[in-house]
Amino acid sequence: MESIAYSQNGAHVTITLNKPPANSYELSFLTALGNIIETINQDPTCKIVLINSDSEKFFCAGADIKVFGNNTVEQNKEMVVAARRVCHLINTSSKIFIAAFRGHILGGGLELAMACDIRLAAEGQYLIGLPEIKLGLIPGNGGTVRLINLIGASRAMELLVTGNTITATTAHQYGLINHLYPTATFEEEVNKYCSTLALGAGEAMASIKKFVLQSQGMSTAEALNLETALVNPLYETPDGIEGFQAFIEKRTPNFK
């Protein structure tokens, strides 16, 4: 689809949303995005996936309200299932997903970003929030769970029950955003961040992602057992061997 583009530079893949004016989604958009992510997840050369927007004003405003309003309940449920599929594909991927935004990010758009592993943002007065309560709904694509995990129950409760928005500065203070960059250097900083991360050990990063997601709620003993199960196979991987060799030779490792 022209409204979703993706390109690859080595181990770094970029998915760009381009559906003016607000990258609001409907079923065909979500299906195409899910299919693209599914294809990328099967690519062994990819380590890092960046999701950004071609628009300076919007990252994604979530579901297209006009479409949502004209749909039947069953059609809307089908759209929600497609949105959940996208978030699930991101969440369970062995790739590290990064969301980069510099404009309004609301509802399902914020849920998409929260499904990613890392969020990078530009400074600015754009709006960030989950306003579903104002439609008599609650987030349905993992937004409640992920918001609580990222910023804590008390702050999440307030944002969810009021539907109010926050600024990028506040989101950064809350821990919703990992890094906040000046607008003028935003694209440069994002590219630098992704390029650096793409040089890392892919299998080890995938294991870290699996541990972070699966260890939540585990006892210390269970988490330690999971850590052991994940680290043991890495010693004999090409990256594991290269990492040790590079350390001994006092050089930068060349991970594949």
Neighbours of 46 (CB within 10 A): 21
| Sequence-distant (≥ 6) Cβ neighbours of residue 16 within 8 angstroms | 4, 5, 6, 7, 51, 52, 53, 54
Topology of 4-197 in CATH? 2-enoyl-CoA Hydratase; Chain A, domain 1 (3.90.226)
- Whole-model pTM? 0.95
Q: Identify the pLDDT of residue 136.
A: 94
Contact 194, 119 (CB under 8 A): no
Concerning whether 111 is annotated as a catalytic residue, the answer is yes
SS3 content of the chain, % helix, strand, coil (to 5): 55, 15, 30
Neighbours of 189 (CB within 10 A): 17
Q: Which residues of 129-159 are buried (b: 16+ CB within 10 A; e: fewer)?
A: bbbbeeeeeebbbbbbebbeebbeeebbeeb
Q: Which of 143, 148, 101, 95 is nearest to 117 (CA)?
A: 95
Q: What is the mean pLDDT of each run of 10 residues along the chain (256 residues)?
A: 88 96 94 96 96 96 89 92 97 97 97 98 97 94 96 98 98 98 97 96 96 95 97 95 93 91
**What is the C-alpha to C-alpha distance for residues 36 and 4, in angstroms, rounded to an integer?**
9
**What is the C-alpha to C-alpha distance for residues 198 and 5, in angstroms, rounded to an integer?**
20
Q: Identify the pLDDT of residue 256.
A: 84
Contact 4, 32 (CB under 8 A): yes
Q: Which of 69, 103, 68, 62 is nearest to 83 (CA)?
A: 62
- Where do the structural domains in the chain lie, given as residue ranges? 4-197, 202-248
Contact 74, 25 (CB under 8 A): no
Concerning whether 132 is annotated as a catalytic residue, the answer is yes
Q: Which of 141, 136, 142 is nearest to 163 (CA)?
A: 136
Strands across the sheet with 4-9, in order?
4-9, 12-17, 48-53, 96-101, 118-122, 179-181
Q: Identify the pLDDT of residue 115.
A: 98
Alpha carbon distances (Å) from 15 to 143, 151, 225: 21, 26, 35
Q: Identify the pLDDT of residue 69.
A: 85
Among the listed residues 26, 38, 56, 111, the single catalytic one is 111
| Sequence-distant (≥ 6) Cβ neighbours of residue 198 within 8 angstroms | 10, 11, 12, 47, 48
| Sequence-distant (≥ 6) Cβ neighbours of residue 32 within 8 angstroms | 1, 3, 4
Q: Identify the pLDDT of residue 1.
A: 52
Q: Identify the pLDDT of residue 18.
A: 96
Among the listed residues 74, 132, 222, 227, the single catalytic one is 132
